[in-house]
Chain A
Amino acid sequence: MHFDLQTIWAILVTILIAGYIVTDGFDLGVGILHLFVAKNDIERRVNINAIGPVWDGNEVWFITAGGAAFAAFPELYAALFSSLYIALFVVLLALIYRAVSFEFRSKEESEGWKKFWDVSITVSSFVVALLIGVAIGNILAGLPIKNMAIEGNKLLGFVYAEKFPISFINLVNPFKFHGLYGLLVGITTVLFIVMHGISWLLWKTEGTIAERARSIGLKVWLPFVIMYVICTALAYNISFKVNNPELAQKYLQLPPDMFQQIASMLDSNGVLHHALFRFPAIELILIVLAALCAVGWLLAVRSVDGAKAFLFSTLTFLFAGFAVMFGAYPLAVPSSLGLEHSITIYNGASSQLTLTVMLIAAIIFTPIVIAYQAWVYKMFLFKISPESLRREIEEAAEH
């Protein structure tokens, strides 16, 4: 690893994405669980109130991660968002319906109206969680992207080689490796998000909702661990082929020693085996730590300790996430058409000046944001329950 600006920005973008999954992750989880932990109107209102003051602030992590990717790695942002066009569109639609469902649900008294938005909350939260995982899995396994500059085009940049609808179907096609891997990571992500949502509900609520959350938690733990093991095992087998080492050297723009290190790992056919496990010792440590934290989560859920459960689900994700980032480094989007067509953190990055300006902004403002978000969380971390909401409604009626 080099400690240059590109690397620092790769870490920062990873932190922003992790910030998104850790913060919006739990409210997505609470959303997925909405129909299952809350059974009547009061409970459902409590369930939404559990995330009410924070969910839209959490979603800003997504917007900021998108903005930071745009600013620091424009080639990545442009190529990925246009390549995953329909998938991203579905995520956006789901996020819209989710936001609106929270806002609209309790503003009409009709049963049908409420039921519609309740279902919409669960479905949209599930779709967002699933597709984020599907996208991450697909990217890790390599996508058919092409650097058009290699073919002499001076303006197009990185372009997806497949066209719709094949391009979209293949993202979840179990008979294509990247599609299969996308699906598996997608399911794992949903399970994680549900666990993280359970942590929050145990922390923030008491009574019937927390009880149901706990019993679901005890059931989803094992499937999550199994899926995580499967994803890791498959990741070990991911390999990429270099068709033309000279083009790779020219277009990936890696620092010379980093390129040499990768070139020395190629076999006689130009295949880079265990491409995501080039530093097995460090990655293994991170993966084991993630697994240990998952065990810690189970124990915390058993003893209904919400704060501890939240800490452990957060750490599980952070260790797993950084293991992934570390494994992929310096590749941002590996190309399945030949490694020389890949987007790296070097050929995808902005200029040194932009990265510097942005770094200064990030150093000043990120701690401030984290500080006031933590402060707001602390302020809103009083327990709520169906009983407390009933009491509040009665008090308001007396006024």
Chain B
Amino acid sequence: MDFVLLVSRLQFAMTAFFHFVFVPLTLGLSTLSAIMLTLHYATGKEIYRDMAKFWSKLFAINFALGVATGLVHEFEFGMNWSVYSRFVGDIFGAPLAIEGLLAFFMESTFMGVFLFGWDKVPKAVHLLAAWLSSIGSNLSALWILIANGWMQHPVGAKVEMAAAGKRAVLSDWWAVVFNPVADVKFWHTATAGMVLSAIFVLSVSAYHLLRKQNVEFFKKSAYIALIFGFIASVGEIVIGDIHAHEVAKTQPTKLAAMEALWETKQGAPVLLAAWADQKAQKNVVEIPLPIPGLLSFLATHDFNGKLLGAKDLQKKFEAQFGPGNYIPPVNFVFWAFHLMVYLGFFFVLLFIWGLAKYKDLENANGFLKVALYSLPLPYIACWLGWATAEVGRQPWIVYPLTDDYGKIKLAEIGLKTAQAVSPLTNVEVVITYILFALTFTGLAIADFYLLAKFATKGPEKEAELY
């Protein structure tokens, strides 16, 4: 692979992964803090006030880093992917701009009011600010995922020649906004943020409960997290299923890799585990779930539904787009996807277990320990999900518009990742890659350190944020 392309891909993936350390917590914890503040203003109880203050402080530390890495993310499109940016800008740029205008201003402005407004602004304004900030951060995710969804399933567009070359242009705005792939991606991501934040609150609470510190405070926090998390994690599985169904229709090569499906099959089973030999185009090991036709059912809603295998898809894409490799790395995508799904089920069980133990939570040491050490798991699940979505899209950066389980509807809009990279030099990408890697790592360590410091300290009162 071309060096600039390789490093640009690594850099973008790295930025995405670091960004997604901070984002899901922002999405969910903003909502949780707003719920706590609502409880405070509704009941007048001081404990909810302290809770909102405590959890929103952790949220603030996290937010600054989300903004910083998000800024890099937005600019990297132009910096490393100039050909992509000019090719798709007519469509892809619009949701990004609207995200800033509609959502991001709202999120950050009202977050300032929420965090700095204690006792300084009227109660109703303060509460409104907390909710607007939470709605803003989730709206922001919606617009970003509309942009991302379009790369996966480029609806509402046509291709034309312009003054500086070929490009995709908008033909139907509402098709872009109501892109089924984008909308389901949004719900999938928003609920992931809720599950992650619930586990974050649960895990920090477990730490204190294990030490019997501030028992009432952290028991209440854990209760809110358990209920919130249980609803979100069950919702996540339902949404995940709808999402996979959309992928099957619109990105058959991704689905084939997610399920290590080499041969075209009717009534295909779900594989619990598999190991593929990509060159020989077959699986060396496969352990199917003993429910016949389950994969066909999940993907097509028919136990006897036909799914195209990677071998036939490769032939089909070669015939349409010329020689090349059209199947993403199967083992990587299969395991990223499957581990994410297994974690998703684990989270549901974790919340059920916690709810069952709730009455005597401070003494349920077994549960508390598992909850404490589960903290990294939802982060890993988020990363695995993104890895599935974006590696599974390869070799395309804009997937040719496909529907009905493999019918290519607009081939010329497809753009390969290898064509999309900026004409940079090796030195440039190496410099930025190394320095971003060092910076992000440093930030993540500092973030972790500060979060740990304030999270383990407990709800103490402080004068100012700075």
Task: Determine whether the beta carbon of A70 is less than 8 Å from that of B83.
Answer: no
Residue of B nearest to A13 (CB): B97
Task: Determine whether the beta carbon of A53 is less than 8 Å from that of B93.
Answer: no
Q: Which of B147-171 contact A (CB under 8 A)?
A: 161-167, 169-171
Dominant secondary structure at the A interface = helix
A157 contacts which chain B residues (CB < 8 A)? Answer: 82-83, 86, 164-165
Known: A75-B89, A78-B85, A156-B83. A354 touches B466 (CB 8 A): no
B113 contacts which chain A residues (CB < 8 A)? Answer: 53, 376, 379
Residue of B101, B117, B439 with most chain A CB atoms under a 10 A cut-off? B101
B453 contacts which chain A residues (CB < 8 A)? Answer: 107
Task: Determine whether the beta carbon of A95 is less than 8 Å from that of B68.
Answer: yes
Task: Determine whether the beta carbon of A67 is less than 8 Å from that of B74.
Answer: yes
Known: A52-B116, A74-B86, A396-B462. A373 touches B75 (CB 8 A): no
Q: How many Å from the CB of B136 to the closest CB on chain A?
A: 10
Interface size on A, residues (CB 8 A): 88
Residue of B nearest to A397 (CB): B463
Is A281 interfacial (CB-CB < 8 Å)? no
Task: Determine whether the beta carbon of B462 is less than 8 Å from that of A77.
Answer: no
- Mask of B165-199 contacts with A, CB within 8 angstroms, 1/0: 11101110100000000000000000000000000
Is B362 interfacial (CB-CB < 8 Å)? no
Is A389 interfacial (CB-CB < 8 Å)? yes
Q: Which of B108-134 contact A (CB under 8 A)?
A: 108-113, 115-117, 120-121, 125
Is A372 interfacial (CB-CB < 8 Å)? yes
Task: Determine whether the beta carbon of A164 is less than 8 Å from that of B424.
Answer: yes
Q: Which of B413-466 contact A (CB under 8 A)?
A: 419, 422-425, 427-428, 431-432, 435-436, 439, 443, 446, 450, 453-454, 461-466
Is A279 interfacial (CB-CB < 8 Å)? no
A71 contacts which chain B residues (CB < 8 A)? Answer: 89-90, 93-94, 96-97
Task: Determine whether the beta carbon of B97 is less than 8 Å from that of A56.
Answer: no
In angstroms, Cα B68 to Cα A96, docked, is: 5
Pair count A-B, CB < 8 A: 285
Residue of A nearest to B87 (CB): A155
A62 contacts which chain B residues (CB < 8 A)? Answer: 71
In angstroms, Cα B101 to Cα A21, docked, is: 17
A86 contacts which chain B residues (CB < 8 A)? Answer: 428, 431-432
Partner of A369, one of B99, B105, B169, B422: B105
Is B67 interfacial (CB-CB < 8 Å)? yes
Q: How many Å from the CB of B411 to the closest CB on chain A?
A: 16
A-B contact pairs, 24 of them (CB 8 A): A56-B63, A57-B112, A63-B70, A64-B97, A64-B104, A70-B89, A71-B93, A72-B93, A77-B86, A77-B93, A78-B82, A81-B82, A82-B79, A89-B432, A96-B72, A100-B446, A155-B165, A157-B83, A157-B165, A350-B93, A353-B170, A365-B98, A376-B112, A393-B464
Taking Cβ atoms with an 8 Å cutoff, the residues of B that contact A are: 60-61, 63-65, 67-72, 74-75, 77-80, 82-83, 85-94, 96-102, 104-106, 108-113, 115-117, 120-121, 125, 161-167, 169-171, 173, 419, 422-425, 427-428, 431-432, 435-436, 439, 443, 446, 450, 453-454, 461-466
Taking Cβ atoms with an 8 Å cutoff, the residues of A that contact B are: 45, 48-49, 52-54, 56-57, 59-60, 62-64, 66-75, 77-82, 85-86, 88-89, 92-93, 95-97, 99-100, 102-107, 147-149, 153-160, 163-165, 251-253, 346-348, 350-351, 353-354, 357-358, 361-362, 365-366, 369, 372-373, 376, 379-380, 389, 392-393, 395-396, 399
A81-B82, A154-B165 known; 7 new pairs, CB 8 Å cut-off, are A52-B464, A64-B97, A64-B100, A77-B77, A86-B432, A97-B439, A389-B464
